[in-house]
Structure 1
Amino acid sequence: MNDQLLPAIRTRRLRYNFACSLDGFIADADGGYGWIVDDKGIDFDGLFSQFDTFVMGRKTWEVMQAQGEANPLRGRRVIVASRTLSEGGEATIVRDGIEAAVAALKAEDSDRDIWLFGGGELAAALFAAGLVDRVEPAVMPVLLTRGIPMLPAGGPIELMLVSADSRPSGIQLLVYDVVR
């Protein structure tokens, strides 16, 4: 059969999309994010529409839950990696085997991707398992000098630049594919 007649099969990607300071922190030393620059020109509705599943660690989930009605994840499919949460409310809690759970999510038939929403330690585990496909930092024009890193110390991860967008606010929207 002619391969050109077969429909292209698109694999769901796990995309680590996050805001970070120029020096690589996703939160300040107290876990706060008040330093993130507000840019009204970023289309968050368009961004969120690219995803049907959101994966995060417990701390990120707790920050989102604290937003109450303003939580942009309300009503969405959320998977939380946590050994300590007893109940997730709207979220599905995965106590052990988050790598297998994410691999199963990636194998689902969907035209939308999975957002690795937060947690540097969770991201490191999913990188180590070879599950992260894309890294999408929104780099803020801020130096924190200390805080929670986007990834804990570890080995190098090779990336290939896909796109870069410099916003008038000073935010750099970067997209990299993970090189396998």
Structure 2
Amino acid sequence: MRRVRYQVACSLDGYIAGPNDEFDWITPETSFDFGALYAQFDTLLMGRRTYEIVRATGENFRTKQVIVASRSLRPEDYPDVEIVSEGLKARVRELRAQPGRDIWLYGGGNLFSQLLTWNLVDTVELAVIPILLGGGVQLLPPCGARQYLTLTGHRAYPGGMLLLEYEVRQTAKGINKIAREKE
């Protein structure tokens, strides 16, 4: 079964974007092989806001299937991506069951929060950038769920970035009543 991996850069104080959705604070780590990371995925799953921000930079997601969770984007306006406006939980389960490489939960704290409450996130992989933003888009917005993680890997890079890899413990114990009611 394919895994859904939340692989994201975050500041030391837990933000994945600045107050104006900026990500210019994510400095490249020269010894980190982004190409090798990118090759581990054939599908990118992201929320609407993340998609629009990254698309505006000119990124074309070279040879990857892109799925955007959005209730406002119209599929006919974005023929190169799959827009999922309803049935996201079922669609992610379907993707996980298909053959292929892992699925990169590419961004969006709200989307991460929702998939976490549904037990559809397998790993949380943080590239912690040595900066304190003091505000912005949270790594995990409040979701009413407590989720236990197991550290599976870590690495410190010369520029100060830390890569932390956690496996999500997939137990009903980690999801409380409030989270289940969101379904």
TM-score (norm 2): 0.88
For 1:116 and 1:93, locate their aligned partners in 2 and report how far apart those are by CA, in whole Å. 15
Match of residue 68 from structure 2: 80
**CA–CA distance in 2 between the matches of 1:166 and 1:60?**
27
Counterpart of 1:27, as a letter, is A
Q: CA deviation at 1:89?
A: 3.5
Deviation at 1:45, TM superposition (A): 1.0
Superposition deviation, residue 72 in structure 1: 5.5
Q: CA deviation at 1:153?
A: 1.2
Identity of aligned residues (%): 44
CA positional deviation for 1:88: 2.2
Measured after TM superposition, the shift of residue 179 of structure 1 is 1.1
Per-residue CA distance 1:127-157 (angstroms, 9 max, x = gap): 0111100000100000111100011113321
2:165 equivalent in structure 1: 175
Aligned to 1:47: 37
TM-score by length of 1: 0.89
2:5 corresponds to 1:15 = yes
Query: How large is the RMSD of aligned CA atoms in angstroms?
Result: 1.1
The answer for unaligned runs of 5 or more in structure 2 is 171-183
Q: Is 2:129 the partner of 1:129?
A: no
Q: 1:88 to 1:149 in 2, by over 3 A?
A: same
Q: Which amino acid aligns with 2:156?
A: S
Query: Which one of 53, 57, 67 corresponds to residue 57 of structure 2?
Result: 67
One-letter amino acid matched to 2:68 = V
Computing the radius of gyration from Cα coordinates, the structure with the larger value is 1
Pairs aligned (count): 167
Runs of 4+ with >3 A deviation: none
Q: Could you tell me how far apart the structure 2 residues matched to 1:163 and 1:72 are?
A: 30
Structure 1 unaligned blocks of 5 or more = 1-10
Q: Which amino acid aligns with 2:10?
A: C
